Structures are given as structure tokens and as C-alpha cells.
């Protein structure tokens, strides 16, 4: 998250060689937060419970800071389905492990179903940015969000595995047929909470492998690091263009 703020400081010409960017949330180990100009960058840990804690507290912060016209973007990595590794996926709809666009939130022991709609215009604007950048392939597609990285994503290499390679391939084929092109672990609650808050939101994740071809990333650390930068480059370009057109920088 700090590296994203350092990157944005350069992109927005806000860098100050004398200044460091402190972790604003250094008093907690829940997450780290950095800021430059109008850009806030926050870590969220792995999985929906972890990101939901951060979002509750971020929304309260934004409210008390009287922030308006907020856009919230999750950037990260994911497993792809039927895509060349390195493809960037802008999420059209976040769906659960049964390919349904809904998030089930348990409140007082009762399940409440929440919508996971994301902002269509924002997704299109991000896709347009990628076309202008011409650095990597980007698609708009559905993202599957799971509670578990191994059994929940049909991996064969976890500590437990009660299914076959064929079962895995059948499941991934069904996901593909339903429109899913990548899998991660946070977008469902992210989309639900942003929707409930009325914030414009998007999910931008690069795929590190094609899950139909395997379960483990095989690229070198250097290649992976370069792939991981792609969502940052795309979102950085978008932020710069938005702030420029709004006269905020």
C-alpha cells in the first residue's frame, strides 16, 4: 500500500524528496493506511471478514472527515479462468461459489442477502483507460469470490482434497460458462458494503495463472512482481485522468 502511494505521488507530481509517507494507522495491526494528496491507500488482509473490518472503519473515517464524491477501488491478484496470465479483470459482477451475485451477511444470527452490484460506468471508464495505456490486456467480466483459497477454489494442492482433477475442471468450466473469468476472496463483501454506502466502487485484479492449467503460479518472482503492478498502473492512470479533468490537481 505504501508503494502505491509512492507511485501515485510521482504520477500526480506531489512527491516531496524530503518527506516519507507514514502509516496513518500505525497504532493498530489490523491494517496499514497511507495518503498522498486526495489518494488514500489501505491494506485489507486476506478474505471477506478481514476486508469488512477495514471497510466499516474506513466508511466511518470518510464520514467524519466529511469526504464527498469518493471512489473506492480494490486492486489485487486473482486466479484466472480461460485467460492468459497477466490479464487484468475489471469486475462486472461479483458472484459467490454458486455463481450467484449475492452476499449473505449474518446479523443477529439471521442471514440477510445483499446486492453485489458494482458501478457499470466506472468499469467502462477503467477499460477505456487500459485501451489508452496499451500496456496489457484488460477485460470486464464476472469475478467469483470464495471463503477459502484451497477447497473453496477447487485446488488440488491443499492439505485436504476430496475431489478429482475432473471434478475440479467441471466446476471451473461451469464457472466459465456462467461468465466468471477470475477468482479472489474479497470482492463480494466489498461490493455489498460499497453499494450499501452509496460509494462508486470497482474491483481490478490481475490474474497470476490460468486455473484450468494448474493450481500454482509458475512464473519467476520478477515476472510475478511485474504482473502484480498492472492493477496499480491502470488505477493510477485512472486516478490521474479523473483528478486532471476535475481540476483537483
Interface segment toward its own copies; rule CB under 8 A; list 51-59, 69-77, 210-218, 239-247:
51-59
Single out the residue of 6, 15, 117, 151 in contact with its own copies (rule: CB under 8 A): 151
Q: Is 174 in the site for its own copies (CB under 8 A)?
A: yes
User: For its own copies, which is the closer residue by CB, 197 or 241?
Assistant: 197
Least separation, in Å, of the C-beta of 212 and its own copies? 15
Q: How many degrees, rounded to 5, is the angle at CA 65 between CA 59 and CA 68?
A: 75
Q: Copy the grid coordinates of residue 128.
A: 477505456
Single out the residue of 108, 131, 134, 245 in contact with its own copies (rule: CB under 8 A): 108
Give residue for cell 479472489.
184
Q: Is 211 in the site for its own copies (CB under 8 A)?
A: no
Distance CA(70)–CA(92), nearest Å, equals: 20
User: For its own copies, which is the closer residue by CB, 168 or 230?
Assistant: 168
For 100-148, give the DSSP string: -SEEEEEETTEEEEEE-B--HHHHHHHHHHHHHH-SS-EEEEEEEE-S-
- Cα of first residue to Cα of last residue in the chain, in angstroms, is 21
Q: Summarize as ranges the residues that interact with its own copies (CB under 8 A).
A: 30, 45-50, 52-53, 55-57, 59-60, 63, 97-99, 105-109, 146-152, 154, 158-160, 162-163, 167-168, 171, 174, 185, 193, 196-197
Amino acid at each position: 500500500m505504501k508503494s502505491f502511494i509512492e507511485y501515485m505521488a510521482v504520477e500526480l507530481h506531489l512527491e516531496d524528496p524530503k518527506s516519507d509517507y507514514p502509516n496513518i494507522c500505525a497504532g493498530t495491526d489490523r491494517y496499514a493506511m497511507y495518503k498522498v494528496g486526495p489518494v488514500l491507500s489501505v491494506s485489507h488482509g486476506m478474505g471477506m471478514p478481514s476486508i469488512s473490518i477495514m471497510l466499516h472503519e474506513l466508511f466511518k473515517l470518510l464520514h467524519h472527515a466529511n469526504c464527498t464524491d469518493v471512489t473506492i477501488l480494490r486492486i489485487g491478484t486473482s486466479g484466472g479462468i480461460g485467460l492468459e496470465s497477466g490479464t487484468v479483470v475489471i469486475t462486472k459482477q461479483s458472484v459467490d461459489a454458486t455463481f450467484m451475485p449475492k452476499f449473505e451477511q449474518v446479523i443477529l444470527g439471521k442471514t440477510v442477502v445483499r446486492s453485489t452490484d458494482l458501478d457499470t460506468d466506472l468499469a467502462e471508464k477503467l477499460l477505456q483507460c487500459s485501451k489508452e495505456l496499451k500496456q496489457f490486456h484488460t477485460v470486464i467480466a464476472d469475478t467469483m469470490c470464495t471463503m477459502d483459497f484451497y477447497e473453496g477454489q477447487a485446488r488440488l494442492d491443499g492439505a485436504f482434497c476430496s475431489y478429482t482433477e475432473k471434478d475440479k475442471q467441471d466446476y471451473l468450466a461451469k464457472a466459465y460458462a456462467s461468465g466468471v473469468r477470475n477468482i479472489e476472496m474479497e470482492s463480494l463483501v466489498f461490493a455489498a458494503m460499497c453499494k450499501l454506502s452509496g460509494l462508486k466502487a470497482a474491483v481490478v485484479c490481475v490474474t497470476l495463472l490460468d486455473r484450468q492449467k494448474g493450481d500454482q503460479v509458475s512464473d519467476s518472482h520478477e515476472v510475478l512482481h511485474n504482473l502484480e503492478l498492472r492493477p496499480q498502473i491502470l488505477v493510477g492512470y485512472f486516478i490521474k485522468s479523473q483528478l486532471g479533468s476535475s481540476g483537483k490537481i
